[in-house]
Chains A and B, each alone.
Chain A
Amino acid sequence: MEWKPDWGLRGRMAFTMFLLFALYIVFAGVLVAYFQSLTIMVLFMGVFLFAQFFFSDKIALYSMGARVVDEDDGPQAQKLHAMIGRLSQQADLPKPKVAISDSSMPNAFATGRSQKNSAVCVTTGLLRTLDDDELEGVLAHELAHVKNRDVMVMTIASFLSSIAFLIVRWGWLFGGDDNRQNMPVIVAIIASLLVWIISYLLIRALSRYREYSADRGAAIITGRPSALASALLKISGRMENVPKRDMRETSEMNAFFIIPIKSDFIGKLFSTHPSTEKRVERLRDMEREMETF
């Protein structure tokens, strides 16, 4: 079936990238104009980016204490391999490596700079929390990240932001004794600070848009938006909040219920993931679209 593309989302993503790109061009111009001893730093950052780019999968797996599992590493590994194999087939992806991390927090992530050497990792907590349909939704979400090359996009997007941060942090080292020589360094530090702050916000917005994209991708890969929605609700612990007791029994308690504190505008600006409510809302729209197209 045909899905209605989310042009709003695409537009916002393109606009954010454009702003980020424009910001970086201005930044590069400022640096070239005012800052002479930049070469070493850029070289250093280049090595850093290179390492981050090429070892990102290993670093991420190592930091999560994840182990890569084979098909015959027990029933859980076999189930994951079977699911990921079929989902990759549906997504037209080579099958990524499969890893399990011993952690009770229900979570999953995908790594790898390219589609060829990617890995999908899930925690044992996730395997315990979700049923098969929901697990499939989460795995498809991670595969959509791989398909959309999110590691690459975010690494590149963060590159100059990291340089800016480094200049803010260590730029004073490049200043000379002479006051006249110090001027360019101070300008560069101030410019870097601005670039760092703005790019930080833009990168976070971009990251949120890419989560929405991966959600859409996952819903389309599995053909079941509701499965991912219920997985998200479960992971965020909201499922636990749905009352299981009869309303008549609890009605006298209503006055004491606390309205959940909504995060304010600033909080939203800094978060890498959209709120579960919004993600679920969009998945519901897709479910509706599927049933009534």
Chain B
Amino acid sequence: MGLLDSLRSVLGISAESDATSRADPDDLFGMSTAYLTMEADLRFDSADEAALCFSSVDSTDFEDTVDAVEAILSAGSEETGTEFKRHTDGHGYNWVVLVDDDPEDLVTSIHFAADEFIERGYGSRLLAALFGFRKADDRVYWIYSFRRGAYYPFAPQGTSKRNQQLEFKLESVLDGELEIEDDEGYWYPLWPSTPNGHPWE
């Protein structure tokens, strides 16, 4: 914690300034090669789905932004064949869900969508990008936190337990290839609402 951070918390404005801090999408692209490692070293296939989770702002301008993101994604889908749908989950958070069997296209589309939010000044509302993987019965996710600019693994079992052993395995194998969040206090779960569902379903 730097001097400036201390000053901010003493003045009671950390919460404000951190909640509006810029999104950091720089390391998002690490996922395009991570897909290969996941398959070659760990035998995890792409779930062919990825999703962007964002919290809304109660304003008309924000609604316009979401419309613009949709427009960009539907323009993109004509080129790459990436399907997308919008969705609001049980907690009131918004998702853009992308479906494509080419992982490269998933990463690109997530990046396009995130970029539009950031350019319109809503980067701070981006919570996470999720990339899904599967192997037999196991489902795991690499979650990219835009606040932290880093990835962390998430292996839900059912709707409220996580397979930490598997998460640490993913972390150790992909470390170096992905920018990984080293403070586990920030490995926030995003629970699926049904035992075999994706967090965004």
A residues in contact (CB < 8 Å) with B: 1-3, 5, 10, 13-14, 17, 70-72, 78-79, 81-83, 85-86, 88-95, 116, 132-133, 136, 143-145, 147-150, 152-153, 209-210, 213-214, 216-218, 220-227, 287, 290-291, 293
Residue of B nearest to A85 (CB): B188
CB of B191 within 8 A of CB of A143, answer: no
With A224-B56, A225-B58 given, name 5 new contacts (CB 8 A): A17-B10, A71-B191, A92-B148, A133-B92, A217-B19
**Contact check: which of A82, A145, A148, A217 meets B91 at CB < 8 Å?**
A82
Give the complex CA separation of A95 and B191 in angstroms.
Answer: 14
**Contact check: which of A5, A133, A290 meets B59 at CB < 8 Å?**
A290
Q: What residues of B have a CB within 8 angstroms of the CB of A88 in the complex?
A: 188
Q: How many residues of B contact A (CB 8 A)?
A: 42
**Interface residue ranges of B162-186 to A (CB < 8 Å):** 183, 185-186
CB of B121 within 8 A of CB of A147, answer: no
**Contact check: which of B13, B55, B60, B186 meets A148 at CB < 8 Å?**
B13
Q: Does B14 contact A (CB under 8 A)?
A: yes
Q: What residues of B have a CB within 8 angstroms of the CB of A71 in the complex?
A: 160-161, 189, 191
CB of A10 within 8 A of CB of B13, answer: yes
CB of B9 within 8 A of CB of A153, answer: yes
Cβ of A276 to closest chain B Cβ, rounded Å:
19
Cβ of B198 to closest chain A Cβ, rounded Å:
15
**Contact check: which of B121, B125, B148, B189 meets A223 at CB < 8 Å?**
B125
Question: Which among A3, A220, A225, A287 has the greatest number of chain B C-beta atoms within 10 A?
Answer: A220
A89-B127, A143-B15, A291-B59 as given contacts; A72 in contact with B91, CB under 8 Å: no
Cβ of A272 to closest chain B Cβ, rounded Å:
15
Q: What residues of B have a CB within 8 angstroms of the CB of A227 in the complex?
A: 58
**Contact check: which of A5, A94, A223 meets B56 at CB < 8 Å?**
A223
CB of A95 within 8 A of CB of B10, answer: no
Q: What residues of A have a CB within 8 angstroms of the CB of B62 in the complex?
A: 1, 223
Give the complex CA separation of A1 and B21 in angstroms.
Answer: 10
Contact bitstring B2-25, A, C-beta under 8 A = 1, else 0: 000000011111111011110000
Cβ of B195 to closest chain A Cβ, rounded Å:
12
Pairs across A and B, CB under 8 Å, 19 listed? A71-B161, A71-B189, A78-B159, A81-B160, A82-B191, A85-B188, A86-B127, A92-B147, A94-B185, A116-B185, A145-B15, A148-B9, A148-B14, A149-B10, A149-B14, A214-B12, A220-B15, A224-B56, A291-B61
CB of B186 within 8 A of CB of A150, answer: no
A78-B191, A83-B91 as given contacts; A220 in contact with B13, CB under 8 Å: no
A72-B160, A78-B191, A149-B9 as given contacts; A217 in contact with B58, CB under 8 Å: no
Contact bitstring B69-92, A, C-beta under 8 A = 1, else 0: 000000000000000000000011
**Contact check: which of B11, B16, B56, B159 meets A3 at CB < 8 Å?**
B16
Give the complex CA separation of A86 and B145 in angstroms.
Answer: 11
Residue of B nearest to A116 (CB): B185
Cβ of B21 to closest chain A Cβ, rounded Å:
7
Give the complex CA separation of A217 and B15 in angstroms.
Answer: 5
Q: Does B44 contact A (CB under 8 A)?
A: no
Q: What residues of B have a CB within 8 angstroms of the CB of A152 in the complex?
A: 9
**Contact check: which of A83, A91, A209, A293 meets B15 at CB < 8 Å?**
A91
Residue of A nearest to B21 (CB): A92
Give the complex CA separation of A216 and B92 in angstroms.
Answer: 21
Q: What residues of A have a CB within 8 angstroms of the CB of B136 in the complex?
A: none
CB of A1 within 8 A of CB of B10, answer: no
CB of A5 within 8 A of CB of B91, answer: no
Cβ of A227 to closest chain B Cβ, rounded Å:
8
CB of A287 within 8 A of CB of B148, answer: no
Q: What residues of A have a CB within 8 angstroms of the CB of B185 in the complex?
A: 94-95, 116
Cβ of A11 to closest chain B Cβ, rounded Å:
10
CB of A5 within 8 A of CB of B16, answer: yes
Q: What residues of B have a CB within 8 angstroms of the CB of A1 in the complex?
A: 20, 57, 59, 61-62, 121-122, 124
Cβ of B104 to closest chain A Cβ, rounded Å:
27
CB of B20 within 8 A of CB of A2, answer: yes
Closest 7 pairs between A and B when the two form their complex, measured CB to CB: A217-B15, A94-B185, A213-B12, A144-B15, A223-B57, A147-B15, A71-B160
